Chains A and B, each alone.
Chain A
Amino acid sequence: MNKTVSQGDLLAEEGRPLYVAHKRVHPQSVRGTFRTIKWRLMVVCLGIYYLLPFVRWHRGLGAPDQAVLLDLPNRRFYFFFIELWPQELYYFTGLLVLAAMALFLMNALGGRIWCGYLCPQTAWTDLFYAVERWIEGDRRERLRAAARPMTMERAAKRVLKHAIWLMIAWWTGGAWVLYFADAQTLVRDLATFQAPAIAYIWIGILTASTYLLAGYMREQVCVYMCPWPRIQAALTDEWALNVTYKYDRGEQRCSLKKSFDLRARGERVGDCIDCNQCAAVCPTGIDIRNGAQLGCIQCGLCIDACDAVMKKVGRKTRLIGYDNDINIRRRMDGKSELFKPVRPRTIVYASLIAVVCAVMLYALLSRTLLDLSVLHDRNPVAVKLSDGSIRNGYTVRLLNKRGFDRVVAIDIDGPPEASVHVVGLDSVTVDRPMIVLARDTTTELRVLVTAPVDDKSERSMPVRFRVTDIGLGEVASATDHFVLP
């Protein structure tokens, strides 16, 4: 029977709990290599997140000058020098593929690196823990306080803690909406209550979710809500380096004092002195010495904690470290350690990343600011005119991705003596139709191509539409067919 059933637990069957009450984790502060890496990454990631909306990028008159902007109403996405239109959303597909592959590659090399170091949930939870520690003290103090009745002083501290948490959460939610509108204007509007209601609603939702997830749910998000641990478990292999307790070296655990006695008598004892520091610092409240487990986000804090202990007692560090079961086996068999970062799996991930990057880069570099697409009329495909000549109709769509109006001329290279006419344009300009394309828009035209035909004409001839910017000389073209009935 499970002995951890607390009084509040509902019993579905006798002795069997239907749910477990939330056990609060009080991780202890720790110093060390991985803690330092985590602090630095947190500053970089949160710094980028909070400040990016305020970075300016000059794009010319009339265009937004925010470096990163998701302009939903106008359906434009700006990312520094890149401006994406809705029909270019395949770039986002590319980004998603890249993100997935990067995640897989990270996992194949070092397990849940994402979870431990980069995941926003980890970053914010860490920040919230830091606030908690600063106000309510470290693990021991908090545990002691939790066991005692509430005092005025503690209540005041708790209010302060929640106030600061809410402020962080609010700033987080606020920063998110800044990516969807001009940041400087929006901040001013928000402060003077002029901003659209939807902005306040989103800030409210994001504030509440950050506060709940980072302040209360914490490790519960990683253990119960996040899909990545499940996917990760299925994707990982035996060579991936994970935070591992090297039981070949640690067991038999033995207290420091006893280990001296036993060693003096020549008996073999492990290096672990059973001080429980690794468990005390763990933000998800697990004991890594029980082996690899779902709850471990691989933040490496237990490595720092154990290293500190090992240094103090004069033993070799990295009793807990990035390692895998293969090496534990090999060491136990007296073989040397073996690391294989290059293996089929990592090669495949890395080359996929390279390929997708190359494709996206090529697409970006060959991207044009004047575009056209041509669609041939399907019904009727060709019309015979009274003088016996043949006319084909096309829907021509022109995209002017520049921030100013421009005049373009439409030419065709098609069947001999073919003439082109744009519906709605005066027939005076029929020789070379000129169109004004408004800035940052698409223009759809109905274009008729007429050609005299004789018996020798082919049933289907290529016709090439060419648009030329009169001012800039930019040219775009597309090919279709001219068919006879």
Chain B
Amino acid sequence: MTEHNDIDRISGRSTTGHEWDGIRELNTPLPRWWILAFYATILWAIGYWVVYPAWPLLSNYTTGALHYSTRASVVNDLAGLEKLRGEKMAVLGKASLSEIEKDPTLLALARARGKTVFADNCALCHGSGAAGAKGYPNLNDDDWLWGGSLDQILQTIQFGARSGHAEAHEGQMLAFGRDGILKIGEIVTVANYVRSLSGLATAANFDAAAGTRIFAENCAVCHGENAKGNQALGAPNLTDGIWLYGSDEATLVETISYGRAGVMPAWSGRLDPITVKALAVYVHSLGGGQ
């Protein structure tokens, strides 16, 4: 350190030698307790290095006398949370679906649980708000391929559709074109007929009588005489305004020609029963539940 023998003229005290724009800093000593507190913090830091993980080494770090690690405490926290949740979830597990629906507390709990599980597992296909996409049903509306009651939704989540699970929903939309059941002209005709069922415009030269006949002979088996669909087979209602793959002529022709067989995975093996139950309640409460 350089020697500063500057003495401030007015106070008669020495300065630190620092000067800014002609203003010099007096060398004002700190009080002893302040210095002692400062030393205490240094000692504290050294103690901290010894007790807690502190210094990085080449390939490792000093683990500290307490062997504290944030990962361990996170694991701990999660275990505690799991336990806390377990108690609440057990109540959910014991209640029946209709009991949950009637009890506001249980309903809120199931919805909350279902919402997070949905975001983690289901949102990928059905969208974060369950609005669906082409080929993936919108779960907010009132149109259900396999039924929209609480039990039916639970069933579908548990085992899925065409998932390969023994209890999964089965049902095929046949490939009328590829398999040579209908000719392309017939397919276009029946496609227009189906559009007319829900009040959509048909092609100018559309033969309604032929459409009716082709539908009755080929489609009514699954979709019903009045085209209202059949939930046992997953055959959609063709008279409403809701279309899974689209309602324009080209899409319908493609659907009729090649068939459709969307897969809903079975979740019973991947999620625990209580979670699946909560999920069913959540999906049911989205607005479409029947």
A→B interface (CB under 8 Å): 1-2, 8-10, 13, 16-22, 217, 220, 224, 377-380, 383-388, 391, 393, 423-424, 443-444, 446, 448
Contacts and interface: CB of A to CB of B under 8 A. Distances in A.
A8 to B, nearest CB: 8
A393 B142 contact: no
A413 B33 CA distance: 70
Given A384-B241, A385-B142, A424-B104, A20 B285 contact: no
Interface stretch (B73-81, B124-132, B160-168, B186-194): B124-132
Nearest to B30: A19
Given A13-B1, A385-B143, 16 more contacts: A2-B29, A8-B32, A9-B29, A16-B14, A16-B27, A21-B31, A21-B32, A224-B30, A379-B128, A380-B131, A384-B242, A386-B142, A386-B241, A386-B242, A387-B241, A391-B141
A224 B27 CA distance: 15
B31 A448 contact: no
Contacts of A22: 31-33
A35 B204 CA distance: 104
B108 A384 contact: no
Minimum-distance CB pairs A-B, first 5: A379-B129, A386-B240, A380-B131, A383-B140, A19-B35
B252 interface: no
Nearest to A424: B107
A380 B14 contact: no
B31 A385 contact: no
Nearest to A447: B287
A385 B34 contact: no
Nearest to B288: A383
Nearest to A1: B14
Contacts of B138: 380, 383
A18 B285 contact: no
A20 B29 contact: yes
B101 interface: yes
Nearest to B242: A386
A377 B29 CA distance: 64
Contact of B29 (A17, A383, A385, A448): A17
A391 B140 contact: yes
A220 B33 contact: yes
B13 interface: yes
Contacts of B242: 384-386
Contact of B143 (A16, A17, A386): A386
Q: Sort chain B's interface into a size bin.
A: 35 or more
Contacts of B241: 384, 386-388
A380 B130 CA distance: 7
30 contacts: A2-B29, A8-B32, A18-B29, A18-B30, A19-B32, A21-B31, A21-B32, A217-B33, A220-B31, A220-B33, A224-B31, A224-B34, A379-B127, A379-B128, A379-B131, A380-B129, A380-B131, A380-B140, A383-B287, A384-B141, A385-B141, A385-B242, A386-B240, A386-B241, A388-B241, A391-B140, A423-B107, A423-B287, A446-B285, A446-B287
Contacts of B257: none
B237 interface: yes
B13 A2 contact: yes
Contacts of A13: 1, 3
- Among A19, A379, A380, chain B packs the most CB atoms within 10 A around the CB of A380
A217 B286 CA distance: 63
A20 B140 contact: no
A20 B31 contact: yes
B143 to A, nearest CB: 5
A217 B33 CA distance: 9
Interface in B101-134: 101-102, 104, 107-108, 111, 127-131
Contacts of A10: 35
B160 to A, nearest CB: 23
Interface string B1-40: 1010000000001100000000000010111111100000
B31 A386 contact: no
Contacts of A387: 240-241
B41 to A, nearest CB: 15
A100 B211 CA distance: 81
A8 B27 CA distance: 18
Nearest to B103: A424
B6 to A, nearest CB: 12
A20 B34 CA distance: 10
Contacts of A8: 32
Contacts of A391: 140-141, 287
A19 B141 contact: no
A386 B141 contact: yes
A148 to B, nearest CB: 24
A352 B202 CA distance: 71
A290 to B, nearest CB: 9
Given A13-B1, A384-B141, A385-B141, A19 B31 contact: yes
B101 to A, nearest CB: 7
A386 B237 contact: yes
